Structure 1
Amino acid sequence: MTATQSDPGPITRAERDRRLARLVALLAASPLDAIVLEPGASLAYLCEIRWHLSERLVALVVFADGSLLWVAPAFEERRLAAALADPSSGGPTGPILPWNEDESPFALLAQRFAERGTSHVAVDPRARAFLVQELTALLGPAALHSARPLLRALRSRKDAHEIALLERAAEITKHSIERATAELAPGTTDLSLAARVRELQEEAGLRETWALALFGDDAADPHGEAHGKRLRAGEFVLLDTGGALHGYQSDVTRTFVFGAPPSAEQRRAWESVRAAQRAAFDAMRPGVPCREIDGAARSVIEAAGWGAGYTAFSHRLGHGIGIEGHEEPCLDGAESDPLEPGMCFSNEPGIYLPGRFGIRIEDVVCIGEEGARVLGGWQIGPESARSGPGPGK
């Protein structure tokens, strides 16, 4: 394949402002009075402020009436104010509640909540334990709530710009995989393949790149560790890699046989994984529970004789992707949440046979009004890592 799409460009300040307005609307429609966000993915979704997480509390509080409050150490107040005022990379402006080193920021925040009559506060489900513990001690356990439903509603349905970024990132990664694997020769190490595919992605504009290359029986561990193993003809190569384009992630896995035609068993196993991926894809449409998508893939692996449940296909089918490599939704056998238009997630079934080989094929898909489509094409066959047009609308 060739990288055909142009760069969609970064998310703009106006887009982030609209996201904040949506968050306020979601709060207003809920029983919640406010949400507290520390530096992390959800705060980055709303603004360009990047702040180091430490034991000193820095947070944004968004209230259901649309007002904002930043919390920061007093000695950082000027730096935060300057960052918020930057028109190119700033964030939503609002008063800053400063706290000195001999004060408790949680007590000050609780006092502000009391003054406003704030009685129900949401916190990011990934918030650090000490934040939850301190606020619980001051506000009472009935006052704190998980922000997971709120953030899921805010972030899980991608808009056209986000989808374009995800698709371009996927294209770059798949093109880089093809180039890197075309250079393979007997004796190439897993570490050098991983380094090469990262290099190619970075040359094409991705950042935060990562790669895992596993050869032969090493791939029987889905998240195995490369250790300098040298490649031999006739064994599987599993390459799982990605990076970020303007903060939006790619995540692609290709498995193929190097240097020789696939054996009958290798081909049958690879085709079983592809059939599972296709079965899951065909089941994807708005309203279908995530667990049914996982089940559609898992039943194909079982029917092909590779084992029931998690015997050979030992992990969930997929995970959401966006500004985080792993986010909502989760496609596993327990998740009852339904698919919705705009959701983007990985479709990555596998077969792992310890001491023999491992296979995973992974592509990101996007849910539309009537079905799904693969972003950036999908793998053609077990002979190479080449991608061709994928199915979908």
Structure 2
Amino acid sequence: MSNRFWNHQEPESEVYTNATIDALNFIVVHGGTPSRWRTFWFHMPWKVRGMEPQIVVLNFISESPMPKLERFEVKYDGAHHRKIEERWGKLLSNKPLFQHPPPARLKVAVLEWVPNPYLFAGSLAGRPQIVGLTRLEVKFPPKLPKLEDFGALLANSPMLEVLSIDTRINQCSHRSPNQGGQNLPTSLPRISLPKVRVLGLSFNTSHVFPWWGHSLLFMLNAPNVQSLRLLLESPGCRGRVPVNQTFIDYIIKGDDQTKPKPLFPLLTNLELFVEPIVERSGRRYPNQEILKAYPSITTLILPRPTELRMLSIQPWLVPCLNRLIVYARLASELRESISERCGADLGLKTVEVLVLDESNNEEIESKYIGELYGLGVEISFSHSKHRVREVLGLDDI
């Protein structure tokens, strides 16, 4: 569906819902039989309020056999509203996402804000909806599934190479439940994912810590991860719960505290932001602790400018770093952060600046070139919102 479809003059959700139904019926009536579909892609843009069009699409999928499906993407960028789960309850079909048996050829699944009943309803416990994937990206709604259910879904795709899990909530207007007091499940399954080389963990600290995120990571046995996206933050929500230090220690030291070693020994590419931990004795900086534990990092992506100062800390963090990717902020801060590294001949070869949604791109690029001149590093610029995904390998499959 084109941008012209979503730019309808009447923004009410009912208009989009009816138009979505008409569009799907039009495709089928004119020969687009779902049983022949190999790819399905649906994107709800930010300008559309309400979940109704997406629910209509999911209900259509649940009623249509798709044995040849190889790639399935449902993406949602819309606003997230108070009590949205209650609103879903009136719309859901209470049917599984796919008809039984699930599509055996499916290799890539991108699921954003797909309500849990489509994947994890009680009647689906012995009928996994997704099997045999090589790439899975999930952006969960506020109500997270049971860890055992999500673990079972992962266990049915032992050949996964790319796995991304996102629980962050944007433009959140509700107070997240205080789950910090919940106990960790005592008998979580250990899931072997030896093929995973790209892992994304984007967690909302006001919603999932300490129990859900920590437990999920403990379940994953993925020793061959080479690229990691680790974003632990609380975007737009009240009632923030601090990042759990046990979670950080597990990433740094692994599960055997008597013989500590990094959880991901092959890691070379890292996108990193973890909010500081406030303790009675002062602040702790997990970003620095993580970089200290992974000296083999060669590519580092820093989404927040405040973290640039880590690069000038001595003893030097990430001594093997040769590519730094940052978002366009203040060029002078970047020079200050890396000039001493360059002077120490640590091998930083490339600085890539992401210039996104800027009207004065040429001016910004000129400032960076001027500030970094003479440091002996190659400077490049990217205007693609997908550049970080490309570098990490999230889009490789």
The answer to whether the superposition gives a TM-score over 0.5 is no
Give the TM-score normalised by the residue count of structure 2: 0.23
Quick one: higher RCO (CA 8 Å, sep 6+), 1 or 2?
1
Give the TM-score normalised by the residue count of structure 1: 0.23
